[in-house]
Amino acid sequence: MNFVAGVAKCQNYEREEVERSMTLAVERAGGMPDIAPREVLVKANMLSPSEPELAVTTHPEILRAIAGEIRKTCDFPIRIADNPGYIFTDAGSLLEKTGINGITGIEGVTAGLLSDMGIRDVRRDSFRALDSARISARYLDAGFCVNAAKLKTHVETEISGCIKNIFGTADIGTRKKCHSSPSQKRLADAIVDLYSIRPPEFNVLDAVVGMEGDGPSHGQPRQVGYIVAGRNALAVDWVASAIMGYDDPLCVPLMASAAERGIGPRARTEIVLNGADWDELPVKGFKKSSGLVRAFPTFLRGFVHKLVSISPKLDKRRCLGCGICRNVCPVDAISDAPGPDGKKLPAIDRLKCVSCLCCHEMCPTGAMTAHKNLLARLAEASRF
Ligand code: SF4
Ligand code: SF4
């Protein structure tokens, strides 16, 4: 089986340069496949409320150019969305800081959180590490998905490109479960399980400025100068690995797990690379992640993830008793309890609650707040 990856040089985030390079990369990847007549989802990397210059998130000009490419072929609504890292719950500041709110000039483009239409339980016999996963309904139902990833290092998974970007389609509980995996291999298998649920139809990697060092939040921005595109996320990630200087991408557990399951290429010879030669891709002196975090057993890191907790908490004064939170709760953890003046107030069954925060996101008055424990507040302050 041959996979195709399209590469185009792109030196900066000037609008014309990005648009020209995006068109070239998409063409070289063989173009986007046919789009089903429903909402088109652009799954961005919006890990944290960080300015585009920090290279933590997909650059807004890249997202704008992707929307422009989609518009050339259809006029269906385009939604740019992601679930940020689970210590960040404020959609307003996320969209503002990442510059995504400033994407204008293309009709029918909106942006928001990926979980705003609820989440769904998914089980597959083919899962290797997960029993089940809870995935954004918006992602599952999209007529077409463009995976708009950022080239970054990652202290746990070594690289963060297209396949890792799909991790953000899962709810908080599922992501925590993955991070609690007993080994790096098991974590990789869990991420590949998530990816296999609904592989995106097209993938774009923002490698204009990537992140080196100990990513995906605290590495250093590094000029790279490419946009990479392809229908197979793993083929694009092979290119990302080559850029980062991996001679054998299969030494990265994530890449090995996907290859083992036939989800991506098993060898470089299976990839048709258009627009560049493999030899010219490695960025001289690119700093991979240090491996310091990986030196700790995965279960210990998972334990830390478990200690960081955010849970819904009701502010009775602002509650209208509208029942929206009860209706969106995926595990029926909210019931009606008597409140003042005959009003019904939501009561949360803490044993059932999986902390997905759908109730918080959907509450029209902000009465269902997201309560962060001390570790979550510390992590947020340091942009963990
Ligand atoms: S959605 Fe908000 S306002 Fe409505 S019942 Fe729930 S907490 Fe109260
Ligand atoms: S009560 Fe818990 S499980 Fe239900 S929607 Fe809120 S956070 Fe999610």
Nearest CA to ligand 2 atom 8: 356
For ligand 1, atom 2: residue with the closest CA: 363
Q: Are residues 127 and 100 in the same domain?
A: yes
H/E stretch holding 314: strand 310-314
Considering 247, 279, 303, which residue would you say is the last residue of a domain? 303
223 & 125 share domain: yes
266-285: pLDDT as tens digits = 999 999 999 999 999 999 99
Looking at the structure, tell me whether residues 231 and 209 fall in a common domain.
yes
Residue located via tokens 């704008």? 64
Domain with residue 170: its CATH number is 3.40.50.11440
Tokens of residue 226, six digits: 């490419």
pTM of the complete model: 0.83
With 0-12 / 13-18 / 19 or more C-beta atoms within 10 angstroms meaning exposed / middle / buried, residue 159 is: buried
Q: Does 119 contact ligand 2 (Cβ within 6 A)? A: no
122-123-125 Cα angle (round to 5): 150
8: left (phi over 0), alpha (psi -120 to 50) or beta: beta
Phi, psi of 160 (to 5 degrees): -130, 105
Torsion of CA 38, 42, 46, 49, to 10 degrees: -70
Q: What percent of the chain has pLDDT over 90?
A: 66
The answer, yes or no, to whether any atom of ligand 1 lies below 6 A from the CB of 367, is yes
- The per-residue pLDDT for 384 is 44
Q: What is the pLDDT of residue 302?
A: 63
Tokens matching residue 3: 């996979």
Q: What string of DSSP letters covers 175-201? A: HHHHHT-SSHHHHHHHHHHHHHHS--S
Nearest-atom number in ligand 2 for the CA of 348 is: 1
Q: Which residue has the higher pLDDT, 330 or 24?
A: 24
Answer yes or no: do 284 and 239 share one domain.
yes
Q: Which residues pair with 336 in a beta bridge?
A: 346
State whether 148 and 10 are in the same domain: yes
* CB burial of residue 271 (10 Å; 0-12, 13-18, 19+): buried
- Cα of 334 to ligand 2 centre, how many Å? 7
In this structure, are 337 and 352 located in the same domain?
Answer: yes
User: 321 lies in which domain range?
Assistant: 309-381
How many domains in the chain? 2
Q: Which CATH number covers residue 363?
A: 3.30.70.3270
Confidence class for position 142, pLDDT limits 50, 70, 90:
very high
Say if residue 245's pLDDT is above 90.
Answer: yes
Candidate from 334, 335, 350 with most ligand 2 atoms within 8 A of CB, to mutate: 334
Q: Quick check: 64 pLDDT over 70?
A: yes
Task: For residues 199 and 145, state if they share a domain.
Answer: yes
